[in-house]
Amino acid sequence: MHFGSDKITSFFGNKSLRCGKNVLKIDKPLVMGILNLTPDSFYDGGRYAEKNAWIFRTGEMIDEGASIIDIGAVSTRPGAAEVTEDEELFRLLPAIQLLSKEYPDIVFSIDTYRSKVAKLASEAGAGIINDISGGSMDNELIATVAATGLPYILMHMQGTPANMQLNPVYEDVVSEVNRFFNQKTEVLKNAGISQVILDPGFGFGKTIEHNYQLLNKLSIVKKSGFPLMVGLSRKSMIYKLLNITADNALPGTTALHILALLNGTDILRVHDVKEAIQVIKLAEAYTKTLD
């Protein structure tokens, strides 16, 4: 892989997104910290189920340098149990209402594929809608996001969380993900959504080999001109390859984060904010030598 200056233009762009009452400037790579309110997420399920834990963990990630906090109330790990809309709202709304008041200058992203959840979360203080399904799991979601005026994270996934890892097949994963983004961003544009962040969906309907092919070719996706987000943190493409557990996958995560940054990534979605900020500083120091 060649780490040339053409791979790192995202470091020096001048983008900004209107996220409700806040503006998110993307003139250098940012970190999105993960706050899972779920009992069964693959790494930190059950750790942040109570109000004090929400506040403490959010404050900790902000202090470490997170610009965005992504709140999820439904696990989307492979084979995760179905959660009702009512249960998702029961877990999510009190958290976003409380945290958006506690930390008014921070952008909160809501990890949901449901239109009602997106609408109520936006009214409660959410600044971004993060949808794993690309609008495929709720026909009203795209129109709902358009009505909120919030940025939309468009992720690629083959299948659904229930079946996506059973037998993912592509002729060319990079071309197919890129084609999906090209088609879907046109749909979003026609629906009135102009603020879009792309997420290739590492681990969502992809084998380990597919994931590394995508990582190697992120610069192709980056040519779309939209901000690029990746979620690599402690995923199976690391711990299964190394025959370790997610608990021991931070060094591998750090290694992949540097590769993602050098291929144009704008936002790292992570469990470990402090380490991700360190990686960004190292990548920035490295890229200065390329001028």
Is the pLDDT reported for residue 151 higher than 70?
Answer: yes
Q: Is 179 a catalytic residue?
A: no
Residue 39: per-residue pLDDT: 73
The arithmetic mean of pLDDT across residues 93-100, rounded, is: 95
Q: Which residue has the tokens 């930390």?
A: 103
When pLDDT is averaged across residues 64-87 and rounded to a whole number, the result is 86
Q: What is the pLDDT of residues 192-225, one digit of tens each?
A: 999 999 999 999 989 999 999 999 999 998 888 8
Q: Which amino acid is at 7?
A: K
- Contacting residues for 209 by C-beta, under 8 A, at least 6 apart: none
Whether pLDDT at 81 is above 60: yes
Task: State mean pLDDT over 151-173.
Answer: 82
| Assigned CATH topology for domain 5-288 | TIM Barrel (3.20.20)
pLDDT-based confidence at 13, cuts 50/70/90? very low
Active site residue 206: no
In the set 235, 274, 281, 288, the catalytic residue is 235
Buried b (16+ CB within 10 A) or exposed e, 53-92: ebbebbeebbebbbbbbbbbbbbbbbebeebeeeebbebb
**Taking the CA atoms of the chain, what radius of gyration do you get in angstroms?**
18
Give the pLDDT confidence score for residue 159 in this predicted structure.
Answer: 66
pTM: 0.90
| 129 within 8 A of 193, measured Cβ to Cβ | no
Tell me the domain boundaries of the chain.
5-288
Say what the pLDDT of residue 187 is: 96
Average pLDDT, the chain: 89
Q: Which residues pair with 11 in a beta bridge?
A: none
Asked whether 204 and 168 are in contact (CB, 8 A), the reply is no
Of 7, 269, 274, 281, the active-site residue reads 269
* 26-55 mean pLDDT: 78
Average pLDDT on 10-19 reads 66
Report the Cα 95 to chain-centroid distance in Å. 19
Residue 252 sits at φ, ψ, to 5 deg, of -65, -40
